[in-house]
Structure 1
């Protein structure tokens, strides 16, 4: 597949999101679908109360439409199971996030779905994803990047898929805390997987889907960069995290996801460390978790935190691509 197809994919997804946003954002505002800011969050964030959320709907729409158009254009065999699976987890987890957001903004219940409800939904979608994969005789092996070491997990692969989909969706969700932070970081990570899916294997449908995500996120970033005019909400963050895990599974780069998605891993670890420390010693390691709030409370401007995390994301992506392409 020629690179022009990928650049066209990125451009179409970008344009759809950019053109849709000026229509959709006022619509969300009229419905009073405004973000509710946590009381325990940084005080500087309280001025963001009421900013329209559920912008993830625009991202999902742009990704799905662009992916279908470009795969039909690039392939003579129609859409394969890989793209259907990726759209299934994107829309499935997006629906969970939408329910969570809707309960928060429409029913004025700040916590949204209960953790058990959300977890159950995430696991059910992950299991469906696994059984569809197995129906396609998808290998249950994993390989350590840069080596020839391969393990066949058998039924244990189902557990890995659940851990990856649930873990990635929650990790990406935790990172969505500052204007533009997740949109920019996720664009970098999906871009890295798009390059690997195009250059390394290749897997054209996965590459097209990945670049459609990048284009949609860059278009969204036009309106989500500081000061944000719209937030993606759990609708977007849960969907993106699940889609990211789906890409890593389909490309057999399950382990490399931990490296390329290093920012998401660090954000999640900061929350885990904070909780364990407080419960065992009564002391907090960070001023606030996830980690991006810690730097805010150290006096960093929001834009400085965001751009620093983007840079770290680029470094992790570069390391992941290097390991996968030059060491494998």
Structure 2
């Protein structure tokens, strides 16, 4: 029964996105919701200017509908189900506001960093207080060592750090056609396996709903992209995978499974530190995917290489959690 639910969840998420795209993409074009490309980015990206963005709306619709339909069909939605959807939609709304300011109000940087951070903190804090009301554990498990650290009241700080960090990490990774779509499909797929292994079937259903939705989106987002997910999609997916790791008590293993996102973020941090302290850049451009573009790799080669690396990280994360 569960195997059938998982299969039809992926299929449903995939089909909703695929069927919405031919309707929604022309709609975005008519509204002139086209992506503005940063002048400081690679010059080869300037030709992407005007490509419809905010396609993440389709992902959010597909995941929400699929999760609610399939969890109710299986056993009924739980507090965890609604929490995961709340976080995804909350971060998605924040990303939508950011995209709206960029494409409609023509302010290329969108929300200010302080505005975005405040929104992320508020959503993370609401998430924590709902967890607390439902007697959720405030301990963080350490993989391999079979050990946990009880954070108590400090768990809220951990949640804020984790959700802000990973939502921004996925957002930073969203710079090439199909890069985030493929990378998140792999990461959520790994969490589906681990949630299933822990008998957290509602979390597994949510995870595969995301896998199906982003794979459907990838049909139109692969190079050359016909639509971008925008911050609407990338912030939502980043917040959702952090929330998923917290709900399944796999917080630390997210560092491994989300290794591509961690590396992309570290490349930005190292670049900034190096430039401010020595005046020299470590990479030709950060995040890291732009560095490989500027040394001559094709966009498709960079994306596929990052997918392969993401898959290796996902397998490693499953191995550490299940077999070590």
TM-score by length of 2: 0.99
Partner of 1:215: 212
How far, CA to CA, are the matches of 1:29 and 1:121 in structure 2? 28
2:100 aligned to 102, 111, 134, which one?
102
Q: Work out the CA distance in 1 between the residues paired with 2:50 and 2:149.
A: 49
Paired residue for 1:151? 149
Mind listing any 5+ residue stretches in structure 2 that lack a counterpart? none
TM-score, length-normalised on structure 1? 0.98
Shift of 1:2: 2.1
Moved over 3 A (4+): none
> 1:39 and 2:39 equivalent?
yes
Report the CA distance between 1:7 and its aligned residue.
1.1
Q: Does 1:126 align with 2:117?
A: no
> 2:284: which partner in 1?
287
The superposition leaves residues 70-120 of structure 1 with CA deviations (integer Å, 9 ceiling, x where unpaired) of 001001xx3110010001000000000000000000000000000000000
Distance apart, 1:132 and its partner CA: 0.2
Partner of 1:2: 2
Distance in 1 (CA, whole Å) between partners of 2:216 and 2:77 is 25
Counterpart CA distance in 2 for 1:11 and 1:188 is: 16
| Cα distance in 1 for residues equivalent to 2:146 and 2:322 | 14
Task: Give the secondary-structure state (helix, strand or coil) at the position aligned to 1:107.
Answer: coil
Unaligned runs of 5+ residues in structure 1 are none
Q: CA RMSD in A?
A: 0.6
Asked if residue 260 in structure 1 is aligned to residue 257 in structure 2, the reply is yes
CA contact (8 A) 2:2 2:74 kept: no
CA displacement 1:182-234 (0-9 Å, x = unmatched): 00000000000011101x21111100000000000000000000000000000
What's the counterpart of residue 54 of structure 2?
54
